[in-house]
Amino acid sequence: MTPAHHPPLVLYATPDEYRRHFVRVYCRRAVVTFDGLDVRFRQEQFDHAFFESVQTKDDTFSKKRAERIDWIAAALQDGTAELYVGWDNTKKKLTPGRRVCIVFGDYVVVIRIAGHSKAFFITAYVADQGTLAKIRSGPRLK
């Protein structure tokens, strides 16, 4: 079940404007999830979240991702979100320390849980049907 409404798109002209928005909205304070996790955001995560790999790693700014910048907090605070165990690319395995959240049909936010009430933002993106199917084939978080 997904909520009927998502936040409006954020429209800026340049990546630097989105970067400043990210720092102002997310990096200065934690976002508290619907279940009480304090999610922290690091400035260096901006490139991973809002650039896509076209020729090399994170080489192309994604306007599609950036316009949804305010969806991150909405996703983390949505008690109706689908929650799954995340994949750790470094270890090449599922790990309960990663939480994947799907909201608004195809929007994904990934966090790393770092204790009882603390987590760190990893990335957010609009997923294609293949990626969604892969996530949904994994174990759900309770």
Q: For residue 5, is it within any domain?
A: no
Q: What is the pLDDT of residue 2?
A: 42
Give residue 54's pLDDT: 76
One-character DSSP codes across 46-75: HHHHHEE-SSSTT-EE-HHHHHTTTHHHHH
6 lies in some domain? no
Biggest CA pair distance of the chain: 40
Q: Enter the pTM of the model.
A: 0.92
Asked whether residue 7 is domain-assigned, the answer is: no
Residue 61 has pLDDT above 90, yes or no: yes
Cα angle for residues 100, 51, 6 (degrees, 5° grid): 50
Query: Percent of the chain at pLDDT above 70?
Result: 96
pLDDT number for residue 4: 53
Task: Report yes or no on 85 lying in a domain.
Answer: yes
Q: Residue 35 belongs to a domain with what CATH number?
A: 3.30.2310
Domain count, the chain: 1
- 89 pLDDT band, cuts 50/70/90, is confident
For residues 63-68, give the mean pLDDT: 97
Phi and psi at 123, nearest 5°, equal -165, 170
Tell me the average pLDDT of the chain. Answer: 92
- Torsion angle (degrees, nearest 10) of CA 36, 141, 110, 41: 20
Residue 119 lies in a domain: yes
Tens-digit pLDDT profile for residues 43-53: 999 999 999 87
The 10 Å Cβ neighbour count of residue 45 is 18
User: Does 121 reside within a domain?
Assistant: yes
Domain that holds residue 48: 15-136
Residue 3 covered by a domain: no
Q: Residue 98 — pLDDT band, cuts 50, 70, 90?
A: very high
Closest of 28, 29, 9 to residue 71, by C-alpha: 9
141 within a domain of the structure (yes/no): no
